[in-house]
Amino acid sequence: MFKRILIANRGEIALRIIRACRELDISPVCVYSQADRDGPWLESADQSVCIGPAASKDSYLRIDRIIAAAEVMHADAIHPGYGFLSENSHFAEVCRDSGFEFVGPSPEAMCALGDKVNCKRLARKAGTPVFPGTEGGIEDLDEAVQSAREIGFPVIVKAAGGGGGRGMRIARDEASLLDGIASARQEAAAAFGNPMVFVEKYLEHARHFEVQVIGDKHGNAVHLYERDCSSQRRHQKLIEEAPAPGVLQKNRDRVCESAAELIRQAKYAGAATCEFLMDHKQNFYMLEVNTRVQVEHPITEAITGVDIVKTGIRVAAGEPLPMKQSDIRVNGHAIELRINAEDPARNFMPQAGRIETFVVPGGPGIRMDTHARAGYTIPTHYDSMIGKLIVHAPDRATCIKRCLTAMSEFKIGPMRSTMPLYSRLLQEKSFIDASHDIKWVERLLESDRAKK
Ligand code: MV4
């Protein structure tokens, strides 16, 4: 097992990794930017070193400085967390070449799954369902138009190197398809350095269903069932839950097993998430694979009892997975509410400044993952998520009630947070009866604005 892990991240996920290290008798060490000098998570680390100015590009994205810090502090592994360098295969390669274990997949597996055209090809081979569309990247426009005619409009143009909604164009006819391919290509070349785009069927009303998987270096992989992340705004998830409500056991088992098979065939070691869209008949279509631990991993931990961060560290150290698929059972229901320092009444305006009041909820089934506290000043340079409330209960109805009580106990001031929005969302009929979809929060906010 590792003796010392350098955490190349900040905030609540840095703290989450520190706690996992403690249980494994690993010494956690941190890097931080000048804006994070007083970051409360640094108090829990054994050592920390400043690697540069506030801007991420000058600190948390500086591969050379992170490697230098790992050398100085005698780390034997580097944990990237989520965001920043976590899905950068070049970083994973530099870690390996510098003699540090990267807590995550090999650069090869990350590359293979990170390219969406290649990932889709691997998925077809593994029997993971994908959208009908072009077999690979678009070589000529006639082929793209031909493919769109076969699958039928609307279609969507996506960048092979894209993700999280960037580089996508919806096309409802041939003219907009040709336009869409040209503009998606340009955007993709500029943003990802790869102009390759592909076309697939566009699904209008869908739910976002994602399967947590984890593999080891001995060819084993299991899935930890799924999360429903349909409650989002502008590709930022707000509420996630596990398991996905209303999905038949046989449909769930089939898609979850197909996701585990995909990462087994990709020889993938570490935690990953296979993202799907689900239509109203419970057909599944894979979107992409996230090759890191995700923000919403705790709801899966709650319902399965598996510590995903600890297991990710164990497999990175070469240990075999400590469980078989048949050991994994779903227990109850869990919901995560992302606490963002944003004002939902003012178009989600980021809220900076010093936190004066911070009251954390408690009681059975309540977990709060946060680095924030009264006296902490939220820097403006990073994303606005300052914590996550994770609520676990025997069933979904109880879980929703528990969320409402916990939210009423939570207090933050003087800044606003997204919590008041959630107490409303959780009482909406379409959420309660699970008839919602990936656009439901945006539609609701839009109708609010129309009323004003
Ligand atoms: C789609 C889609 C509909 N049909 N692909 C958005 C982010 C990226 N991961 C893929 N995305 C989508 N791909 C097809 N064929 C709709 C979306 C989409 C979406 C997906 C998941 C969660 C929220 C979303 C919001 C808008 C669009």
In the numeric block, which tokens belong to residue 302?
Answer: 């709650």
Q: Is the CB of 201 under 6 A from ligand 1?
A: yes
Per-residue pLDDT tens over the stretch 288-320: 999 999 999 999 999 999 999 999 999 999 999
Per-residue pLDDT tens over the stretch 411-433: 999 999 999 999 999 999 999 99
Whether residues 370 and 345 share a domain: the answer is: yes
Whether residues 178 and 273 share a domain: the answer is: no
State the closest ligand 1 atom to the C-alpha of 200, by its place in the atom list counted from 1: 15
User: Could you tell me where the beta strands, DSSP code E, fall in 135-269?
Assistant: 155-159, 169-171, 197-201, 207-215, 221-233, 236-242
Q: Is the CB of 91 under 6 A from ligand 1?
A: no
- In-domain check, residue 114: no
What value does the mean pLDDT take over residues 441-451? 94
CA of 61 to the centre of ligand 1 (A): 27
Whether residues 175 and 97 share a domain: the answer is: no
Q: Is the CB of 203 under 6 A from ligand 1?
A: yes
Please tell me whether residue 388 adopts helix, strand or coil conformation: strand
Whether residues 186 and 269 share a domain: the answer is: no
Cβ(361)–Cβ(412) below 8 Å: no
pTM: 0.98
- In-domain check, residue 109: no
- In-domain check, residue 113: no
* Sign, CA torsion 290/295/301/303: negative
Q: Is 254 assigned a catalytic role?
A: no
Q: Are strands 77-79 and 4-7 parallel, antiparallel or unpaired?
A: parallel
Whether residues 403 and 444 share a domain: the answer is: yes
User: Could you tell me where the beta strands, DSSP code E, fall in 297-438?
Assistant: 333-340, 342-343, 349-350, 353-354, 357-359, 366-370, 377-378, 385-393, 411-413
pLDDT exceeds cutoff 80 at 352: yes
Instruction: Count how many domains the chain has.
Output: 3
What CATH number corresponds to the domain at position 91? 3.40.50.20
DSSP 280: T
Q: Are strands 357-359 and 349-350 parallel, antiparallel or unpaired?
A: unpaired
What value does the mean pLDDT take over residues 356-370? 98
Count CB-CB contacts under 10 A for residue 274: 28
Whether residues 194 and 295 share a domain: the answer is: no
Q: Give the range of the structural domain holding residue 93, as residue numbers without chain letter.
A: 4-103
Whether residues 326 and 431 share a domain: the answer is: yes
Distances (CA, A) of 437 to 229, 280, 371: 9, 10, 31
- In-domain check, residue 152: yes
- In-domain check, residue 410: yes
Atom 6 of ligand 1, residue of closest alpha carbon: 165
Atom 14 of ligand 1, residue of closest alpha carbon: 202
Whether residues 252 and 159 share a domain: the answer is: no
Cβ(312)–Cβ(291) below 8 Å: no
Per-residue pLDDT tens over the stretch 187-224: 999 988 899 999 999 999 999 999 999 999 999 999 99
Of 46-55, 63-72, 162-171, 369-378, minimum mean pLDDT range: 162-171
287/129 Cα distance (integer angstroms): 10
- Domain boundary among the residues 88, 103, 118 is at 103
Whether residues 184 and 251 share a domain: the answer is: no
CA of 392 to the centre of ligand 1 (A): 28
Whether residues 188 and 212 share a domain: the answer is: no
State the closest ligand 1 atom to the C-alpha of 439, by its place in the atom list counted from 1: 25
Per-residue pLDDT tens over the stretch 6-39: 999 999 999 999 999 999 999 999 999 999 999 9
Q: Which of 65, 185, 227, 292 is catalytic?
A: 292
Substitution site in 211, 277, 284, 286 for ligand 1 pocket (most atoms within 8 Å of beta carbon): 277
Whether residues 192 and 225 share a domain: the answer is: no
The pLDDT, as a whole number, for residue 452 is 77
Whether residues 97 and 195 share a domain: the answer is: no
